[in-house]
Amino acid sequence: MIADPLTFDPPVFLAPMAGITDLPYRSLVARFGAGLVVSEMVASQELLSRRPGTREKAELGLDVIGTSVQLAGREAEPMAEAARMVEAMGARIIDINMGCPAKKVTQGASGSALMKTPDHALRLIEAVVGAVKVPVTLKTRLGWDDNMLNAAPIAKRAEDAGVQMITIHGRTRCQFYKGRADWAAIRAVKETVRVPVIANGDITGSDEARQALRLSGADGVMVGRGAQGRPWLLAQIAHDLHGRAKPMVPKGAAMAQMVAEHYDEMLRFYGVELGAKVARKHLGWYMDHCATPADLRRALLTAPEVKTTFDLIAEAMQYSAAAAQTPVAA
């Protein structure tokens, strides 16, 4: 018998994205407003090989309300042990990754490769659910390829095993991120299970979120790449679809301050040398939503010193006020 379904308010979630949804970025998105933020995928074997209670706890933000920790793996016992470890460290929700399409993950029989072996996948799910007392959720794709669209039967078996929420990315593994997400195909999962179903894939704004919910019948949406450079996007969708407070989208000096604070948090989190490198992609995404001139963009992304970077952030983000007057492709 499954527990009562999980509920989140608002039902707008931040997707796990490797190298992107680290603690500084999740914290920023959460400050604007999100029903749930999910950690980067954590490989169970790698987690178990490290000394527990040090870097992992800092990375995952385990005890933060509205945070889920996503685990990946290919064997039941290491997955169960990793789940027990993060639960003991304060995890409130554990998500099982069955959706990552990356070759380095699927070649190791993890991520979306598990959709090719449903019986084995179920053993992993049962092991994790049986190992912890916190809610366990699942994220998958529609299937491995167009000849193996088995998300619905896998979802049903996962529900019977005790999984309390299921997120479906509306593509197969073999599509990677090409084409368009098929939100309508998610409806088969929604009609098969009683637990909440969350639609994911190509949700880059409120119109897309509304359409995804209509076509899929899902209970909520999960936003991934659409939030890059726009940490307020989830709060904006929650406002437009669910009547939540309208976020104050920063422009000009306010945008510069937000980006500088995010940059500073990354330097503190990773250390100056690594943090400066990791931050470049975020700085680029922020400028994607500004009218930053090309020469200034190039100077910011290649700045040799942290102080110079802070100075150029203040200059580059001033153009966000002008960009707000012109639609920018997501």
Q: pLDDT tens-digit profile of 165-194?
A: 999 999 999 998 899 999 999 999 999 999
Mean pLDDT for all residues in the chain: 90
- CA dist 253 and 319 (Å) reads 9
| pLDDT at residue number 323 | 57
* Whether 100 is catalytic: yes
Average pLDDT for residues 100-113, to the nearest whole number?
A: 87
Distance of CA 212 to the CA centre of its chain: 17
110 torsion bin: left (phi>0), alpha (psi -120 to 50), beta (else): beta
> For residue range 274-319, what is the model confidence (pLDDT) as tens digits?
999 999 999 999 999 888 999 999 999 999 999 999 999 999 998 8
- CA dist 127 and 119 (Å) reads 13
- CA dist 156 and 195 (Å) reads 9
| pLDDT at residue number 66 | 84
| pLDDT at residue number 330 | 36
Which residue is catalytic, options 47, 96, 100, 241? 100
To the nearest 5 percent, what fractions of the chain are helix, strand and coil?
50, 10, 40
The pTM of the full predicted model, rounded to 2 decimals, is 0.92
Distance of CA 134 to the CA centre of its chain: 19
- CA dist 189 and 152 (Å) reads 4
What are the Cα distances from residue 313, in Å, to 23, 89, 94, 244?
Answer: 21, 36, 36, 30
What are the Cα distances from residue 192, in Å, to 133, 154, 160, 166, 280?
Answer: 25, 10, 11, 11, 43
> Tokens standing for 215?
């076509």
- Interstrand relation of 67-72 and 42-43 (parallel, antiparallel or unpaired): parallel
| pLDDT at residue number 325 | 46
| pLDDT at residue number 201 | 97
Identify the three-state secondary structure at position 69.
strand
Judged against a pLDDT cut of 90, whether residue 210 lies above it is answered with: yes
- Residues 254 and 195: beta-carbon distance below 8 Å: no
Judged against a pLDDT cut of 70, whether residue 322 lies above it is answered with: no
- Residues 168 and 189: beta-carbon distance below 8 Å: yes
Average pLDDT for residues 219-228, to the nearest whole number?
A: 97
Q: Percent of the chain having pLDDT more than 90? A: 76
Residue 272 CB neighbour total at 10 angstroms: 11
- Mutual angle of helices 272-288 and 306-316, in 10-degree steps: 10
> For residue range 144-154, what is the model confidence (pLDDT) as tens digits?
999 999 999 99
